Amino acid sequence: MTDHLSDLDVAELFPRTPFSPDAPTPRISVLGTGYLGATHAVAMAQLGMEVVGVDTDPHKVAALAAGKVPFFEPGLDELLEEQLASGRLRFTTDVAEAVGWADVHFVCVGTPQTKTSHAADLRFVEAATTAIAENLTHDALIVGKSTVPVGTGARLRELVARTQPAGVRTELVWNPEFLREGKAVQDTLHPDRIVMGGTTPESEALLRRVYAGPIAEGSPVVVCDLPTAELVKVSANAFLATKISFINAIASVCEAADADVTVLADALGHDTRIGRQFLDAGLGFGGGCLPKDIRALMHRANELGAHQASSLLQQVDEINMGQRARVIELALDACEGSVLNRRVGVLGAAFKPHTDDVRDSPALNVAAALHLRGAQVTVYDPQAGDTARASFPTLGYATDVEEAVEGADVVLVLTEWDEFLDAEPARLASLTRRPHVIDARGRLDARRWTDAGWSFAGLGRTAA
Ligand code: UGA
């Protein structure tokens, strides 16, 4: 009898559902192939699943399909090549084909800040979710990973219900991602927690199958409701931002009192309730996540009437932005009040080391501000030269540290790459016009630099 059934009949008689405990290994689609999505797609393949990565940008898809990660992320290139070769991983712009093929669809698109307010721009999340819902051919689990304001998942559930074809069963859950750029591969393969928000027993079981590897290794699983899962993510970033602004606020007390914030942070960090991480005082936080996430949380908290959370984060943001102004002041001080026609060597453009990401980079912000005040600014970054040049084409760019500091009236260390911490201060001093260094990340060995003839300025360490 079955010999005479068409494909359509088979689909009707045996609708594919990934929710059944004995369904075959789920196939994965990942919508959005930026830092989050590309890493997630590769990691899912590494964990043994068949994966398709989907993006609307044909250039990104072509690069990834050819084994080239379109950004710098340590270890990802190798893993991408390995997984493409395994045959488990592919990339496409054809969302209909990908959604028709896969069982679990991860939404990994960006949620940038809107142009006119602090709110998150949810257009990409909505477009990706709509594309999934419109193209479903069988039961599926939609998993939000993008960072979204609390309440988004509930709205997306309504969108899916309105859009999906009749007869298909879907669930939409939230499973936020906590990966750090620069450590994205490690964080994705070995997450320090797996949050599953808004699951039923069936979708929880399915997600546990997807994450079987990390769970077996001991990654804790937190099962919660949808709004809690959404809030866990933004609260984690808000806490990290608050920790950084706290130490930066204390740094200004240290300066006024002739204390050293780097020693103070070490001492605080020995208290396991506090911990040493994210207590590096300096130029403050930037990047594609912390700044926009705390602003989106401020906005959402205000909408919900939780004004205290919003005003706390407003302070965090203000302290953070103030650090950039402080470093600009230090540069002006080093040049007797004006940088007009002075040469400024800038070491670092990325928002932190081990990435080429310059989104909301404090380093470039300072470099551009000094350029606007008439300085001749030359920037060097071991990885972010190209991305920096694309965003700030009017700055000068060097191909190494020595070229950046040559003839400089002041040198600013704005991103703490090892290459700068390990640099030879005596050799560099001989290249400058005047050996003034501003350590905006608090990571240089002040004694080594002063011994080599540099006048040294830092944040929160006047004594240094
Ligand atoms: C951050 C979070 O750490 C991740 O957990 C989260 O998943 C990610 O955002 C995201 O939402 O996608 P990331 O943006 O990669 O990760 O950067 P972080 O390592 O958190 O650093 C953020 C900024 O804080 C950098 O500019 C860094 O220089 C600065 N920072 C960090 C300090 O100024 N002081 C410190 O002590 C630590």
Rounded Cα distance, 102 and 97, in Å:
9
The set of protein residues with a Cβ atom below 6 angstroms from ligand 1 is 147, 177-181, 237, 240, 244, 278-280, 282, 284-287, 289-290, 293, 351-352
Among residues 146, 123, 162, 144, the alpha carbon closest in space to that of 198 is found at 144
What residues contact residue 150 under an 8 Å CB cut-off, 6+ apart? 227, 230, 231, 234, 300, 304
Residues 379, 270 share a domain: yes
Domain's final residue, options 174, 200, 224:
224
Residues 320, 180 share a domain: no
User: Does the pLDDT at position 217 exceed 90?
Assistant: yes
Residues 167, 56 share a domain: yes
Domain membership flag for residue 49: yes
- What is the per-residue pLDDT for 1? 38
Domain membership flag for residue 242: yes
* Nearest CA owner, ligand 1 atom 21: 285
Domain's final residue, options 200, 224, 248:
224
Q: What distance in angstroms lies between residue 136's CA and the mean position of ligand 1's atoms?
A: 36
Amino acid sitting at position 86? S
Q: Tell me which of 186, 237, 261, 416 to substitute to probe ligand 1's pocket, judged by most ligand atoms within 8 Å of the beta carbon.
A: 237
Residues 306, 190 share a domain: no
Domain membership flag for residue 367: yes
Domain count, the chain: 2
CATH number for the domain spanning 185: value is 3.40.50.720
pLDDT in tens, 347-382: 999 999 999 999 999 999 999 999 999 999 999 999
**Residue range 127-140: mean pLDDT, rounded:** 97
What residues contact residue 320 under an 8 Å CB cut-off, 6+ apart? 241, 244, 245, 248, 284, 285, 291
Q: What distance in angstroms lies between residue 236's CA and the mean position of ligand 1's atoms?
A: 11
Q: Of residues 463 and 461, which shows the higher confidence score?
A: 461
Residues 249, 162 share a domain: no
* Nearest CA owner, ligand 1 atom 9: 289
Domain's final residue, options 161, 196, 224:
224
Domain membership flag for residue 260: yes
Residues 184, 144 share a domain: yes
* Nearest CA owner, ligand 1 atom 20: 180
Domain membership flag for residue 213: yes
What residues contact residue 328 under an 8 Å CB cut-off, 6+ apart? 366, 369, 370, 373
DSSP SS3 for 413: strand
Q: Of residues 5 and 120, which shows the higher confidence score?
A: 120
Rounded Cα distance, 234 and 330, in Å:
33
DSSP SS3 for 438: strand
Among residues 128, 136, 166, the alpha carbon closest in space to that of 31 is found at 128
Residues 431, 287 share a domain: yes
Residues 270, 168 share a domain: no
Residues 298, 190 share a domain: no
Domain membership flag for residue 311: yes
Q: Which domain holds residue 124?
A: 7-224
Quick one: which atom of ligand 1 is closest to the CA of 362?
26
Residues 250, 217 share a domain: no
Domain membership flag for residue 232: no
pLDDT in tens, 145-173: 999 999 999 999 999 999 999 999 999 99
Residues 446, 343 share a domain: yes
Percent of the chain with pLDDT over 70: 96
Q: What distance in angstroms lies between residue 289's CA and the mean position of ligand 1's atoms?
A: 7
- Work out the angle at residue 4's Cα, subtended by the Cα atoms of residues 140 and 100, and round it to the nearest 5 degrees: 20
Q: What distance in angstroms lies between residue 179's CA and the mean position of ligand 1's atoms?
A: 10
Say what the pTM is. 0.95
* Nearest CA owner, ligand 1 atom 29: 285
Residues 429, 289 share a domain: yes
Domain membership flag for residue 2: no
